[in-house]
A and B are shown apart, each in its own frame.
Chain A
Amino acid sequence: MADHDTRVSAYAARLSGVRKTFGGRQVLAGIDLTIARGEFVALLGRSGSGKSTLLRLLAGLDTPDEHPSDSARANDSARANDSAPTSASAPTTTAEPTGAGVEGGQPDGSGTVASDAADERERSTAGVEDAGDAADRQPVATTTARPPVDVPGRVSVAFQDPRLLPWRRVGHNVRLGLRRPDADEVAERTLAEVGLAGHRDAWPLTLSGGEAQRVSLARALVREPDLLLLDEPFGALDALTRLAMHRLVLELWRRHEPAVLLVTHDVDEALTLADRVLVLADGRIAAEHPVPLARPRRRADLAELRARVLDHLGVSAHAVA
């Protein structure tokens, strides 16, 4: 809590003109988005609309495309005033993330072990070098430095599949990678928060789908994220378990106050949970709906908003209802 105060950014994440292309197909075609600290945002979209890509960019698992015009501009300016040491280094530094981005963007998981080092470099460059070059690269956007993806705080992710290490016990899974002396206690406390106090020594394969997903949530929360990314984490759960998980997520969000980006294709889920619902279509944010209702929300109060959101998703509300 104390280090929250020392952090100056007003936002948990900011995307400025983010583009991402996979094999010639543009998945994201210029996304501008700011998520305030502590805000709960839901991102809706059909499958293939680029929701998960957006989340991966925020998680640092992928890097955004560079704008071809911008890097050309950077090259030009570097050539123009060779005397300035900062801009002279610009072409080499801007060129590198592009190469790394292509490598990291390969969707086959097979090469991940070997390219670990490259990934690590990529992550660090995304944070450090982008910030330095941003002024050169995006002169159009603003006069101040604006990296395309700016996540100032800690990020955690809960994926659609829990992705627990099956060979480590539940408690170990939660505390792995946590670098603090009281990791054990914190992990145990967080497990209790998600209602799995007694499962510390269980093997992940013995858990039900809902339990495993709660462990995954605990693992994300235990890092005290400033931004919690949820990638359709309830998609594989049965309806009753999903409702219980909604309640749990809201409760945890209230207690820990991270900003949340929930990626989902379930309109009701988005409207029940979020402060703001975004609709992603054709690589752009096609619509934005604030949900100014107190929680817990009743389905009846959401009917009108639901119709509008479905409309933006290209589904007639009457056809669905």
Chain B
Amino acid sequence: MSLSTAGALARPGTTASTTATSTTATSTTAPPGGGSARRRVRARLPAPRRWISPLVLVVAWQAASAAGVLPPDRLAAPLTVLRSAVDLAASGELTDAFAVSISRVAVGFTLGAAVGVLLGAVAGLSRWGEALVDPPVQMLRTLPFLGLIPLFILWFGIGEAPKIALVALGVAFPLYLNVHAGIRGADGRLLEAAEVLGFTRWERLRHVVAPAAVPQGLVGLRQGLAAAWLSLIIGEQVNADAGLGFLINNARDFLRTDVIVVGLLVYAALGLLTDAVVRLVERRVLRWRTTTRG
């Protein structure tokens, strides 16, 4: 039961990330032509005709609710959702839940990222490291990590620990894989040049290997963040007494579909927000790549 809810809950997150990538695509294709700032701003917003169908759907939804076709215990009307969002925000309930969830992701992500990057670097930089670290990690990777919840509950109880552990686990694998691959993918010709130029081992690491691994590492960061939100949503289904998951589960008991939708929208917004942050980091860190001569 919890898994099917998980699928439904996960969907807003995934759609959010696909729209995010499509906007990236348009914005990266548009600017190289130069053009005015106004054109660039317009390029970032979808074309007007792309607004039509979403708006029609929302209006239809509202109309169906008003006509009684869509009863509020199945799905609340958009305007009701909006009103409860304002109410929840005003009462501080939403902010509290938001803060709890965010801190779970933050702690879990930091732990998972540290482990993933560290192991990826060890496996990438040393042959022995690879021989020792890679096999067990690849084996563990085949386990569906969301299926570990029962074990985690037995190990960590039902408090904060299993939720954070789940997030950390979700983050660690994609980061490990991408950091490892990124380091291994460092261009041998550049390393050779560095050798001839008399780079020290540290200089080689800092100026050749690490920057070479960054693009792939950022891919891992994005995948890791997506996994983090997914893990959080699922982890919060398990006996949460605070956070967005608690808000949603509580609302379910009272048939408050409006609150459930608000919670889902907040999840989606958070996924979008972190994705935007990564894109910002990408644009800053990889700016040497975007300036290719036309």
Chain B contacts with A in 173-220, Cβ cutoff 8 A: 183-184, 186-201, 203-204, 207-209, 211-212, 214
**How many angstroms from the CA of A165 to the CA of B192 in the assembled complex?**
12
**How many angstroms from the CA of A140 to the CA of B38 in the assembled complex?**
79
Q: Are B198 and A177 in contact (CB under 8 A)?
A: yes
Residue count of chain B within 8 Å CB distance of chain A: 37
Q: Are B196 and A156 in contact (CB under 8 A)?
A: yes
Residues of A within 8 A of B191 (CB): 109, 112-113, 116
Residues of B within 8 A of A117 (CB): 201
Number of A-B contacts (CB under 8 A): 90
**How many angstroms from the CA of A108 to the CA of B192 in the assembled complex?**
12
Can you name the residue of chain A whose Cβ is closest to the Cβ of B213?
A: A113
Contact of A168 among B195, B207, B292 (CB under 8 A): B207
Q: Knowing A116-B204, A177-B197 are in contact, say whether A165-B211 is a contact too (CB < 8 A).
A: yes
Residues of B within 8 A of A159 (CB): 189, 193
Using C-beta atoms within 8 Å of the partner chain, give the interface range for chain A: 35 or more
Shortest Cβ distance from residue B293 to the other chain A in the assembled complex, whole angstroms: 5
Q: Are A205 and B292 in contact (CB under 8 A)?
A: yes
Q: Are B207 and A203 in contact (CB under 8 A)?
A: no
**How many angstroms from the CA of A110 to the CA of B125 in the assembled complex?**
12
Residues of B within 8 A of A157 (CB): 193, 196
Can you name the residue of chain B whose Cβ is closest to the Cβ of A160?
A: B189
Can you name the residue of chain A whose Cβ is closest to the Cβ of B187?
A: A109
Residue B130 at the chain A interface, CB threshold 8 Å: yes
**How many angstroms from the CA of A156 to the CA of B193 in the assembled complex?**
10
Q: Are B186 and A113 in contact (CB under 8 A)?
A: yes
Chain A contacts with B in 202-227, Cβ cutoff 8 A: 203-208, 219, 223
Chain A contacts with B in 265-321, Cβ cutoff 8 A: none
Shortest Cβ distance from residue A254 to the other chain B in the assembled complex, whole angstroms: 24
Contact of B189 among A109, A114, A120 (CB under 8 A): A109
Q: Are A165 and B188 in contact (CB under 8 A)?
A: no
Residue B116 at the chain A interface, CB threshold 8 Å: no
Residues of A within 8 A of B127 (CB): 111, 114-115
Residues of B within 8 A of A116 (CB): 191, 201, 204
Q: Are B207 and A61 in contact (CB under 8 A)?
A: no
Residue B51 at the chain A interface, CB threshold 8 Å: no
**How many angstroms from the CA of A231 to the CA of B288 in the assembled complex?**
27
Shortest Cβ distance from residue A82 to the other chain B in the assembled complex, whole angstroms: 36
Residue A166 at the chain B interface, CB threshold 8 Å: yes
**How many angstroms from the CA of A165 to the CA of B289 in the assembled complex?**
11
Residues of A within 8 A of B124 (CB): 113
Residue B26 at the chain A interface, CB threshold 8 Å: no
Shortest Cβ distance from residue A188 to the other chain B in the assembled complex, whole angstroms: 18
Residues of A within 8 A of B291 (CB): 203, 205-206
Residue B24 at the chain A interface, CB threshold 8 Å: no
Residues of A within 8 A of B193 (CB): 157, 159, 163
Q: Are B207 and A176 in contact (CB under 8 A)?
A: yes
Residue B126 at the chain A interface, CB threshold 8 Å: yes
**Interface-central residue, A120, A177, A208, by most chain B CB under 10 Å:** A177
Contact of A163 among B189, B199, B201 (CB under 8 A): B189
Contact of A166 among B188, B196, B197, B288 (CB under 8 A): B288
**How many angstroms from the CA of A177 to the CA of B187 in the assembled complex?**
18
Residues of A within 8 A of B198 (CB): 177, 223
Q: Are B186 and A114 in contact (CB under 8 A)?
A: no
Chain A contacts with B in 155-213, Cβ cutoff 8 A: 155-157, 159, 161, 163, 165-168, 176-177, 203-208
**How many angstroms from the CA of A223 to the CA of B195 in the assembled complex?**
13
Residue A41 at the chain B interface, CB threshold 8 Å: no
Q: A144-161 interface mask toward B, CB cutoff 8 Å, 1 = contact, 0 = none? A: 000000000001110101
Closest 10 CB pairs of A and B: A109-B188, A163-B193, A167-B211, A114-B127, A177-B197, A112-B188, A203-B288, A112-B191, A157-B196, A177-B199
Sample of 6 more A-B contacts, CB < 8 Å, known A112-B186, A163-B193: A61-B195, A112-B192, A120-B201, A157-B193, A163-B190, A223-B197
Between-chain CB contacts (< 8 Å), 23 pairs: A60-B195, A61-B192, A61-B196, A113-B125, A113-B183, A113-B184, A113-B191, A116-B201, A119-B195, A155-B196, A157-B193, A161-B189, A163-B192, A165-B207, A166-B289, A167-B211, A167-B214, A168-B207, A168-B211, A176-B207, A177-B197, A177-B200, A207-B293
